[in-house]
Structure 1
Amino acid sequence: EVVVVGAEPYPYYQRPRLWELLSTDLAPEELYFRSLEWYAQRGIQVQVGRKVSEILPSSHQLKLAGGATLTYDRLLLATGGRAFVPPFAGVDKDGVFVLRSLADAVAIREYARRVSSALVIGGGLLGLETAQALLTGGLEVTVLEFAPHLMPRQLDPEGGRVLQARLEALGLRILTGVATEAILGDERAAGVRLQDGQEVAGELVLLSTGIRSRVELARQAGLEVNRGVVVNAELCTSDPDIYAVGDVAEFDSVVYGIIPAALEQARIAAQNMVAAGSATYSGTTMSTSLKIVDVELICLGEALAGGPEFELIRHSDVEAGIYRRLALHESKLVGAILLGDTGGARTLKRLIVSGRDLTAYKEQLQDQSFELETLST
């Protein structure tokens, strides 16, 4: 018997596609991964709009808001993460949003239709996708990034410079190395004030400043919690009957925060919930992808690996919007950045996973025209 309980009034939907709602007439239901009927036909009970208020490990029960209880033999925590809201003055004004849920996306779309300009605070993956969606919707959009360059968790400074040039060519205004101090306006947002005193106008403010794991239920239940809910190689928490996966789970001191890791963890946790010890998780090779109009970016493995122990192979062409960075350790590929030309990404990911020695190919790798797929043989 499988019961799924979620506080949101929708079945599971494709969260990475939320930004698509902002500039289209896409119906929210079109993001559903499966309909409620699909689950019911397979004997899966999906209870939407039901919030769990407490986990009672000693009695193997969940207490729901409103007082009802559910009993479990094995429990999986897939509570994900929440958008981090910095303590700026004015974050409670109308017109200030985060994009984390279907309800958020619908609210942003409705508000965006009544304004002409937007500010996106945060130049990471989600911030840039959201900024482009708002631009496509007809707004003037400015991106404000605290770091010296865009996507600092995935790109080095040169890669960030190439990406910024490409996105500015599409019409985005981008300010890097700036820190927001306050959101301006009376009851409604009208812009932001930066720490250097500069003011930037914008009628809609989107905060894209990171995610924090939803660990409150786990902590209250007495489970081991760090940044996420700590799990072992079986994806089991400190309670032998409670498992955790996805953005809430921390394995080997890492909260992956990417879909491929969540899917891999879910498969392994499910096996172990049915037959304890039947599958183990050893981590997921990091992969991040961005596609905005014709701008494509893929980051793999230790994309920012650097230091004397690493050999770096770079190629940069700002005018063409192309950047490639390969990081090798002891002649084995450990990380890659492909911007503009993402051909060979699958081959590179396989090389990272396999740890194949590339000594014989180092000279060819220096040549940007070298077909990376050649390495798959």
Structure 2
Amino acid sequence: MTYVIIGNGIASLGAIDGIRKYDRKTPITVIGAENTAAYGKPLTSYLLAGRINPGRLSMRTDDYYKSKDVSLKLATYIEQIDLETQQLLTSEGDRIPFNKLLIATGGKPYVPEINGVEGDGVYNFTDAKDAYRLIESVKDLKRAVVVGGGLIGLKAAESLYNRGVEVAVIERETRILPLAYDADAAGLIAKRVDDAGMLVRCGVNGQQIVRDKSGKLRGILLDDKKFLEADAIVIAIGVVSKTRLAEQAGIAVDKGIVVDDNMFTGAEGVYAAGDVAQARDVVFDKDKVVPVWSNAYTQGYYAGRNMAGNKSPYPGTMSMSSISFFGLPTISVGEVNPDPENSDYEIYTFFDEIKQSYRKLVFKKDRLVGYVLVGDIDFAGMYTSFIKFKFKVDAQTRKRLSEGEPDVLMWPDDFFNKAWNPEG
């Protein structure tokens, strides 16, 4: 019996913990393409900004892997999953057998179609190596353009700004943060970014990356014919699932690897978790790829439990973004941009532009299904609990929630009864 995990991120740590809860003896092999143990990818922006040192990136010590009887194979690339022989083929020609396999390969940067995007001076911002490349170059950078006005792009821009680089951000949608936040929240964040002195251009695309005759980067031409000078272009739009191995093996793939409630792919002994997996979303009640760090760990944990023989349905994914922009804390959870024509939804908002405070709650029939908080995020956990556990909300509770007064005493009695007396 052998457990093998492809990928060495947060989902793999969840899987190790899940397996070891029920199986303390069977060896585990973790295969990572990067030459480093698991690290916190959300921390790479703080590394680039110079706010933390490289040692802070690590999520586990070497003792962790030793105590869990985990063998790490780093800087190792898997070329093929052979389901018939239950073996993995590496780029070096080696074969690694498995009985239970977890595919946790994560995502790869989405690269838009811009002429000249391949070449010197263009960076991604997904892995630690991207941050290290930028850190090595930052002393020579005066101006940078970040392509992407979402979460990743704005954090990359802020990090470079904190290094003394003049930064411009371009976003193809008509506003920043088009997916994770609503227009009012994005407006508050945009004001904070603008006050910091950063240029943001929305509603434009990069058309061509311009270099001189020697190949040195000069800037980027936009589709509105404006030209932005730059010593570096950072592509930070987002990620797409790394599904190649699964597709080649004949495992079902849609936007990500399709899994059931046990994170099982349908192929004998093979599971998937993290940014590569398409799992059930508790708010939208359909399978989605939701590249959120906490979801990746939880998916890995439940995949590990199931790999170890403990039938444990994954409780479901939830879209969530919690991040600070130039000191302004924000959080967005669940469905925050519902169809305005759908009468099933009811929306409550509170907006104090002077205090830079914003609250939006989205109800669908008798449940809270989404919220946005900017500035004051103290009650975020309470709001999240109403979404996660699908608590029904009566008129009085809805009023108190909308007024910013959530309380644990609003939880239904039967929830407390199950929590404190699970055997009934």
Q: What TM-score results when the alignment is normalised by the length of structure 1? A: 0.94
Query: Counterpart in 2 of 1:123?
Result: 149
- Identity in percent: 28
- In structure 2, which of residues 275, 278, 303 is the aligned counterpart of residue 250 of structure 1? 278
Query: Counterpart in 1 of 2:101?
Result: 75
User: Take 2:53 and 2:185, find their aligned partners in 1: how far apart are those partners?
Assistant: 35
CA shift at 1:363, angstroms? 4.2
Distance 1:147 1:21, change over 3 A: same
Which residues in structure 2 correspond to 1:102-251 (within 5 Å)? 102-186=128-212, 187-251=215-279
Query: Counterpart in 1 of 2:321?
Result: 288
SS in 2 for 1:59: coil
CA shift at 1:218, angstroms? 0.8
SS in 1 for 2:252: coil
Kept after mapping to 1: 8 A contact 2:397/2:410: no
Kept after mapping to 2: 8 A contact 1:28/1:102: no
Kept after mapping to 1: 8 A contact 2:126/2:236: no
Kept after mapping to 2: 8 A contact 1:297/1:340: yes
Q: What TM-score results when the alignment is normalised by the length of structure 2? A: 0.84
Structure 2 residues not aligned, in runs of 5+: 1-26, 281-286, 412-424
**How many residues are aligned here?**
374
- In structure 2, which of residues 337, 345, 366 is the aligned counterpart of residue 304 of structure 1? 337
Structure 1 position 59 matched with structure 2 position 95? no
Query: Counterpart in 1 of 2:299?
Result: 265
Q: Deviations over 1:4-55 (max 9, x none)?
A: 0111111111111111121217443431112334312431101111111111
Distance 1:226 1:292, change over 3 A: same
SS in 2 for 1:268: helix
CA RMSD of aligned residues (A): 1.8
Distance 1:373 1:116, change over 3 A: farther
Query: Counterpart in 1 of 2:419?
Result: none
User: Take 2:34 and 2:399, find their aligned partners in 1: how far apart are those partners?
Assistant: 53
User: Take 2:399 and 2:60, find their aligned partners in 1: how far apart are those partners?
Assistant: 48
- Structure 1 residue identity aligned to 2:396: A
- In structure 1, which of residues 78, 89, 92 is the aligned counterpart of residue 115 of structure 2? 89
Structure 1 position 356 matched with structure 2 position 392? yes
User: Take 1:36 and 1:363, find their aligned partners in 2: how far apart are those partners?
Assistant: 50
Answer with 286-295 or 232-241: which moved more: 286-295
SS in 2 for 1:13: coil
Structure 1 position 332 matched with structure 2 position 367? yes
SS in 2 for 1:342: coil
Kept after mapping to 1: 8 A contact 2:102/2:270: yes
Answer with 8-17 or 350-359: which moved more: 350-359
User: Take 1:294 and 1:266, find their aligned partners in 2: how far apart are those partners?
Assistant: 32
Q: Deviations over 1:32-88 (max 9, x none)?
A: 112334312431101111111111110010111111111111000010000011120
User: Take 1:25 and 1:150, find their aligned partners in 2: how far apart are those partners?
Assistant: 25
User: Take 2:402 and 2:290, find their aligned partners in 1: how far apart are those partners?
Assistant: 31
User: Take 2:102 and 2:304, find their aligned partners in 1: how far apart are those partners?
Assistant: 9
CA shift at 1:360, angstroms? 0.6
SS in 2 for 1:191: strand
Kept after mapping to 1: 8 A contact 2:361/2:402: no
Structure number with the bigger relative contact order (C-alpha 8 A, sep ≥ 6) is 2
Q: Deviations over 1:229-286 (max 9, x none)?
A: 111111011202110000011124300110121111111111110106x101141222
Q: Deviations over 1:139-171 (max 9, x none)?
A: 111111111111111112222111101121122
CA shift at 1:326, angstroms? 0.7
Answer with 315-324 or 261-270: which moved more: 315-324
